[in-house]
Amino acid sequence: MKEEAALKVFVVILIVLVIVVALAAYAIFQSRIMKNSEEPLTSPSFTPTPSLTATPSPTPTPTSTPAPTVAPTPSPTPSPTPSPSPSPSPSPSPSPSPTPVSNATVALNWAGYFVASDLQNPQPTVTSVSASWVVPTVTPLSFRSSAFSAVWIGIGGQFGNDSTLIQCGTEQDSVRGQVEYYAWYELLPAPSVTISNITVSPGDQIQASIRLVNATFNQWTINLNDTTADESFQNTVNYTSSQLSAEWIVERPSVNHVISQLANFGSVTFTNCSASVGSVTGGISNFPWEALVMYSSTTPRSSSVQLADVSDLTPDGTEFTVTYLAPG
């Protein structure tokens, strides 16, 4: 009986110990959970993207564009164009094919003809120049672009350091999407003067002449007639000219001292071209003459673009045509 009682006591003690150990373990576990629950959670940190502040574009200040002035450019002899290497890409639409003209020189902003007493040693003997033409129609550009073209006759400005040029003609421009036509004359280095009493329209027939009327006082008479509109202009001015050359020219003029883009004028034909050099009055072919072909650069043609083509003279030497090719 005593043995059974001792065994029961031992079992009870063992159960109590198990319970105590279990309770202690549970208490330790709970205390760790509580400790962890007291520690705050840390959120991930993000670097904010800096705000972009839009910088407003400066508002352009409108500036008045003075009437274009002509800067005579010496014409170097061009080098032959090398044949381009074939490209596997499709060929673009061909540009108008320039008509070769004999005795032609590359020019940066002029296309046409000039004459002199002698091309190597010109003498100051030019006393008149005249011609007729029909005002060409200009193709308008977008309002973001502008291009210019001038058709004129003149005396001087071609050789070496000749800074004189007396000229008159018509202007055909596309300025910010609007076409403009007007007549003008100019005595370099003074700016051009708009002839306000003539209203120029495309298709009008123009007759122009410049003549030395008093050599003692260097007096020149400028005549420009719009026979279509029945309007005319005449002015006698005092001007000291070199009298070295006479010109019939289509030009991409300088605007704000920068050579402009050439407006697409299609083509213009000079007729009744005449000059007086010394004691002789006659057409272009009556004198030593040279053609000027307009290119985008006076470097060799391989790296330049032809902007205007010049035809040969007619048999009587009084007519030729200038044709637009590219803006420049």
The pLDDT value recorded for residue 90 is 36
The pLDDT value recorded for residue 10 is 72
d(CA 102, CA 325): 19
Mean pLDDT per segment of 10 residues, for the chain of length 328 residues?
A: 65 72 59 40 32 33 35 37 37 41 87 98 98 97 93 97 97 96 98 97 98 98 98 98 98 94 98 98 98 89 87 98 96
The pLDDT value recorded for residue 91 is 37
pTM of the model: 0.71
Structural domains in the chain plus CATH codes:
104-324 (2.60.120.700)
The pLDDT value recorded for residue 2 is 55
What amino acid is encoded at 115 in this protein? V
